[in-house]
Amino acid sequence: QVQLVESGGGLVQAGGSLRLSCAASGRTFGSYNMGWFRQAPGKEREFVAAINRSGASTYYADSVKGRFTISRVNAENTVYLQMNSLKPEDTAVYYCAATVSSFTTRGTMSSEYNYWGQGTRVTVSS
């Protein structure tokens, strides 16, 4: 079992940047594939980015490609989401997720993940 705790959310103006962190505890962090999802008010949870166990492979939603970067430091048990050029439509609660299984859809489906954090809120003002 792994526990996930997100941090780094907040209020930022459009065009600004934030870096989200997800700290993991429990089993060996390097055995998990990781993902970030988000849920805006009144909308379904959607995929943002994913990274494999070693960090060698990353995947992004089209809406964030070129603006967001997912990374991980296994020695620190942490996965990051660097968000640049933020837009008001990026406003959402951001969730970190983990799975011990291999990705079957490049980590884009929430059903692939076994463990979830509590979320951190990101608000982008126009």
Please answer whether residues 81 and 73 qualify as being in contact, where contact means their C-beta atoms are separated by less than 8 angstroms: no
Per-residue pLDDT band for 26 (boundaries 50, 70, 90) equals confident
**Residue, of 26 and 17, whose pLDDT is higher:** 17
- How far apart CA 90 and CA 124 sit, in angstroms, is 7
Q: Of 16-20, 28-32, 58-62, 120-124, give the lowest mean pLDDT range.
A: 28-32
Q: Which two tokens stand for residue 47?
A: 């995929």
pLDDT digits (tens, 9 = 90+) for 29-68: 999 999 999 999 999 999 999 999 999 999 999 999 999 9
**Residues forming a β-bridge with 9:** none
CB–CB of 33/108 below 8 Å?
Answer: no
What was the pLDDT predicted at 80? 98
Can you give the pLDDT at residue 47? 98
Is residue 12 over pLDDT 80?
yes
Q: What percent of the chain has pLDDT over 70?
A: 99
Q: Please state, rounded to an integer, the average pLDDT across all residues of the chain.
A: 96
